[in-house]
Structure 1
Amino acid sequence: MRARIALHDTDWTEAEHAYGDGADTLKWLRDACGEDSDRAERAVAVLHNCLVHQGSVYAGSARAYPVLVDLLLDPEAPHRATLADLLLGITIGIAETEAVHHEIRAAHARATPRLLPLLTDPVRTVRHRVAYLTGLRTGHEELAVRALRERALCEPDPLIAAVMTGGVARHDVADRAAWLFGALASRHTPAVRAAAAWGIARAGLPWTTEVTTAVTEAWEHGDVLNGDVIEGEQWRWSDSPLAETLTAMADPVRAAEICLRLTRSEDEDTAECGAVAAVDLLEEHPYAYPAFTSVTAAVRAHGAIHIRSYADDLDALTSADEGDHTAR
């Protein structure tokens, strides 16, 4: 196993982690690289707790990074999904010092070209986490975007396809706009279309009727964009992708029309997406509330009680804004 070589080529002195000086980091990494599956599983769990603790990362996290990459690249390594999650946690963690931050950024940049083949890995979690790692800025943007483009439109998992499409949108490279507008086409999956629209909005690209159509159809029919799936894993690029997309339209009437169409859906996940987006939009832009009166009415009239509960939030936002106008 290649990771074993990296263990001996690394200076493990002063490799602190969340629980101490890091003297035991080498032991846990050795176990993670070993042939005993149960011991490897325990070791990876311990490493996760030590190297990414409540979102913080340490010198030991940076030193372990290339070893974890080598492990992940080994198709025979046990618990690769957990390893991928650990690598992602280290990459996006909050470093204890600026030096650790730069060391992790450098390790991520070196690993990016090597990780690209894992965008087609048979393990779903590995593909999902590597897609997000690939979309982060590393200095390999052209290479990363090319790999994401090649995979996004044929990725069988809708959520991962959305992550990949969003990753393309985050990099200002040649032909980005043309590719994103092409990804709006109805022949693509709802997840790809929704992510392309979010990317167009995020990049400040021209808003067209095609984008509006894609947003409405994607969120109305894209099951993966609604409910527990997106709520549990997110796109990783946004906590409120629909609200962010509609805000970028800068057209409250059109945004309200989309929210209304969604909230009238008999599918409860779709209706909730419309209601949540309306609440998020009005929290950020309360001046738009007159356009959302019909949305509030549709939410209040919905057959599902948990959808109707959002009417209280919409009413509160409307009342607060009217109060502000009265005070002036």
Structure 2
Amino acid sequence: MRARIELHDTDWTEAEHAYGDGADTLKWLLDACGEGPDRADRAVGVLHNCLVHQGSVYAGSAKAYPVLVDLLLDPAAPGRATLADLLLGITIGTAETEAVHHEIRAAHARATPRLLPLLADPVREVRHRVAYVTGLRTGHEELAVRALGERALNEPDPLIAAVMTGGVARHDVAGRAAWLSGALASRHTPAVRAAAAWGIAQAGLPWTTEVTTAVAEAWEHGDVLNGDVIEGEQWRWSDNPLAETLIAMADPVRAAEICLRLTQSEDEETAECGALAAVGLLEEHPHAYPAFAPVIAAVRTHRDIQIRSYANDLDALTPADEGDHPVR
């Protein structure tokens, strides 16, 4: 196993982690490389607590990074889903020093080309975490966009397909805009279409009627991006992707029409998406409130009590001088 070679070729002095000098890091990594699944799972759990503690990462986290990559690349390694989660945690963690930050960024960059085949890994949690890791900038943007784009349109899990699509949008490379535009087509899944529209919005790419149509149609399928398709995970690129997309549209009247279309749905998940998007948009642009009067009425009269509860949130966003400003 290559991970074992990496372990013994690494100087583990000054491998501090959350609980001390890191002298035990080598032991836990050796256990993680072992063939006993129970012992390996326990070791990875301990490493997660030590190397990613409440979102913070350390010198030991940087030193362990290439070993964890080697382990993840071994299809026979035990607990690969947990390993992938640990690797993602280190990648997006907050470093204790600038030096640690640079070490982890460098390790991430070196690992990116090797990790790309895992976008098609049979373990869905591995695909999910590696998709996020690939969506972060490392200097391999063209490779990342090609791999994410090829896989996103063939990925069977809607949440992972959306993550991959969003990852394409996060890399500023030639061809990205054309790919995102193509991903809006109705032949693609709602998750891919919704994520493509979000990506176009976030990248500041031209907004077209095709984007607006894709937004309205994709989100009629319910919570296509934020659902717990994988337990405990949401769509990390955004807390409220529909609201962010509608805000970027810069057309409150049309945004309100889309929210109304969603909130009038008999499907509770779809209606909640519309209500939450309206709240998010009005928090950002309260003077768009007049255009949302029909949305608020639909929320207030919805048959589901959970949807009706958002009416109070929307009412609280009424600007003090509402009515003195035209909708823009």
TM range (shorter): over 0.9
Residues 41-120 of structure 1: pairs in structure 2 closer than 5 A: 41-120=41-120
Residue 152, structure 1, aligned to residue 152, structure 2 = yes
The letter for the 1-side match of 2:302 is H
Q: Aligned pair in 2 of structure 1 residues 56, 226: CA closer, same or farther (>3 Å)? A: closer
Residue 165, structure 1, aligned to residue 165, structure 2 = yes
SS for the counterpart of 2:317 is helix
The letter for the 1-side match of 2:42 is R
* Aligned equivalent of 1:129: 129
Q: Aligned pair in 2 of structure 1 residues 234, 97: CA closer, same or farther (>3 Å)? A: same
How far 1:227 moved relative to its partner? 4.7
Q: Is the 8 Å Cα contact of residues 194 and 224 (structure 2) preserved in structure 1? A: no
Measure the CA separation in 1 of the matches of 2:265 and 2:228.
17
Measure the CA separation in 2 of the matches of 1:94 and 1:191.
30
Q: Is the 8 Å Cα contact of residues 224 and 230 (structure 1) preserved in structure 2? A: no
SS for the counterpart of 2:295 is helix
The letter for the 1-side match of 2:27 is K
Q: Aligned pair in 2 of structure 1 residues 46, 182: CA closer, same or farther (>3 Å)? A: same
Q: Which runs of 5+ in 1 are unaligned?
A: none
* Aligned equivalent of 2:7: 7
SS for the counterpart of 1:283 is helix
The letter for the 2-side match of 1:8 is H
* Aligned equivalent of 1:206: 206
* Aligned equivalent of 1:142: 142
Measure the CA separation in 2 of the matches of 1:139 and 1:226.
28
The letter for the 1-side match of 2:277 is A
- What is the aligned residue count? 325
Measure the CA separation in 1 of the matches of 2:288 and 2:231.
26
Q: Which has the higher helix share?
A: 1
Q: Is the 8 Å Cα contact of residues 300 and 309 (structure 1) preserved in structure 2? A: yes
**Percent identity of the aligned residues?**
89
Measure the CA separation in 1 of the matches of 2:113 and 2:226.
33
Measure the CA separation in 2 of the matches of 1:2 and 1:211.
46
TM-score between the two structures when normalised by the length of structure 2: 0.96
The letter for the 1-side match of 2:13 is T
The letter for the 2-side match of 1:264 is Q
Q: Is the 8 Å Cα contact of residues 275 and 310 (structure 1) preserved in structure 2? A: yes
Measure the CA separation in 2 of the matches of 1:166 and 1:298.
31
Deviating more after overlay: 139-148 vs 220-229: 220-229
The letter for the 2-side match of 1:6 is E
SS for the counterpart of 1:125 is helix
Cα deviations across residues 208-239 of structure 1 (Å, max 9, x unaligned)?
A: 11111100000002553365448942221111
Q: Is the 8 Å Cα contact of residues 220 and 262 (structure 2) preserved in structure 1? A: yes
Measure the CA separation in 1 of the matches of 2:164 and 2:133.
10
Residue 305, structure 1, aligned to residue 305, structure 2 = yes
Measure the CA separation in 1 of the matches of 2:86 and 2:32.
12
The letter for the 1-side match of 2:207 is W
The letter for the 1-side match of 2:281 is L
Measure the CA separation in 1 of the matches of 2:178 and 2:231.
30
Measure the CA separation in 1 of the matches of 2:324 and 2:46.
52
Measure the CA separation in 2 of the matches of 1:67 and 1:188.
37
Q: Is the 8 Å Cα contact of residues 152 and 192 (structure 2) preserved in structure 1? A: yes
TM-score between the two structures when normalised by the length of structure 1: 0.96
Measure the CA separation in 2 of the matches of 1:211 and 1:323.
30
Q: Is the 8 Å Cα contact of residues 226 and 270 (structure 1) preserved in structure 2? A: no
Q: Which runs of 5+ in 2 are unaligned?
A: none
* Aligned equivalent of 2:260: 260
How far 1:206 moved relative to its partner? 1.1
Measure the CA separation in 1 of the matches of 2:105 and 2:171.
17
Q: Aligned pair in 2 of structure 1 residues 153, 117: CA closer, same or farther (>3 Å)? A: same
Residue 37, structure 1, aligned to residue 37, structure 2 = yes
Q: Aligned pair in 2 of structure 1 residues 132, 12: CA closer, same or farther (>3 Å)? A: same
SS for the counterpart of 2:188 is coil
Measure the CA separation in 2 of the matches of 1:284 and 1:321.
16
SS for the counterpart of 1:233 is coil
